[in-house]
Structure 1
Amino acid sequence: MTYDPSLRVLTVLELLQAREEVTGAELARRLEVSPRTVQRYVTRLQDLGIPVEGKRGVGGAYRLKPGFRLPPLMFTGEEALALALGLRALQLVGLSELTPAAQAASAKLARTLPQTLRTEVSALEQVVQLDASPWVVTTDAGKLTTLMKAVRETRTVSLDYRSGSNEASRREVQVYRAVHFDGRWYAVGHCLKRQALRSFRVDRIQAVTLLDSTFTPPEFDAVAYLRSTLPTPRSYDVSVWLDAPPENLRGLVSMWMTDITAEAGGTRLRGQRENLTSFAAFLLGLGVPFRIDTPPELHAQFAELGQRCRAVTEPGV
């Protein structure tokens, strides 16, 4: 990922605030730039009215004028908590690559808060657990950043894309929106090759390049478009009787979209499932006798599983 020079200028300011004095050589090493470039960054800070003082000669160093500190950012308790939890939630939208940056931002946030508010936010963070859904797809933050820049600057992009059927293609796309939907990031816009609206999963984009050509985007609701175009998995109503009382199944049966009740000395399980193959395997894994009432398609899944089991246990038959 490339870095904006303005971000490096702010990094210089962070280092100067954290240390009494920093040498130009250390700044150059930390930022991976030349000493001359460090001088330009320092000049930029001085032009912004920040009193950076420098010592000339071998071993020259920089420091902020004694007593100078940027005024603290002012947040209410709710605002500070929203920022802290938002930074921690990046993994929930598949951006775990940004975790180090989020941790650094959290540390900066903590430094700006008054002690009382800092303690309160820290205590609240410790009692909150966030867990990424298994359906969230990890996304390359660099590609997403480039797509967002394309949207902001209304510039066309060139995509090297691989479809769900593993077909590779190159597309030029006028991206209207980058949107997180159903656990995945999508780039949605006008495909010049197809001359039509298209959506592209960001995790299937092999490379993205900003082009010079620009466009005028229309008013556009990307979420509504995705809802109307992406296939919706079929959901099955399941009803199964299990030969075990409900208390014996506690902790074994997920209660997500599921209802269990005592019935005839056993348990009636009702719910909705999209993947009947995994549900069939789950029932077998419970290790108790059961009876399938609905749907009939679940019987077919057991027949298929039986064939697969015979292929493994009786090779050549």
Structure 2
Amino acid sequence: MSRPTAQVLTLLELLQSGGLRTMTELADRLGVDPRTVRRYIDHLIDLDVPVESVRGRHGGYRLAGGYRLPPLMLGDDEAVAVLLGLIAGRGLFAAGAAAETATAKIRRVLPQRLASRLDALLESLAFTAAPAETPAPSSGVLLTISDAVRHHRPVTIRYQGRHRTVHPYGLVAHAGKWYVTALDTGIGEERAFRLDRMADARTLPGTFEPPPDLDPAQRVLDSLASAPYRHEVTLHIRGSVPEIRTRLPASVAIIAEGDPWHRVDIRAESLDWIPRVLASLDLPFTIERPAELRDLVRALADRLTTSADRLTTSAADPFSTSAADPALRLG
């Protein structure tokens, strides 16, 4: 009985993605019955692909560990996704050179037709944002920490010149930086550590139990919002929390929900930006502290009022525009 090549290759891709795949899952993904899946598995085994069968209630199929697949085969959409991901991801790691060489390797193994089309895409592509200038973590540190998170293993790190032992809970990428939420065993407190500030990371023997209901991303945001800065700001804002979050994200402000007023705490090195944010929110607010912020809000209100009252009657005024001038129109 013939076996559709495309289906067999799809099965291989599913197994290649890693982990144990149940018969039910494979049958559903391929749109065939379990007996057909077994025939496809037999075909892969005939091609010397080491597919392992795991028996039992939670059994299924997987590829043998360490198996190296044949040369890369990508469709048009897959090739575009991979190459654009490599280009857009430069600067997220200390792996700029690695991204360059990986892009070149993928480019070399693609069919000429697809390679030429991707060359045209890359040559015509421009990004409005410059690559991230934030120092990036080393791939060794990133992989060590991620493995420790997965297996609940303690890690010793050299962080800003000091050695610490931590229990890493989760990795978080935020605003171009990489963080790990972890328990600093030396002081018995949870912290968010930046990976680019780690000079070394080594796994230690033993395991630990992470706290229940863990949300590493939220803990990083809370840590950023409560970091010590020059000014401590407390506001009361009337409106919905989603409305407030449009201008004051979780990494900037901590919101204690109320009815109908919400308490908003902000830590800031400078107060200059806060009046503009409050104006853009367009929600009722009161300032509990500091008094200096009230003066800044009044000063902004005076400037806006003066600008609104200013008359631009002269055609030579640099702020006046002519609707009849086509050069001033945006299409």
Task: Give the TM-score, by structure 1 length.
Answer: 0.47
Give the structure with the larger strand fraction. 1
Alignment TM-score, normalising by the size of structure 2: 0.45
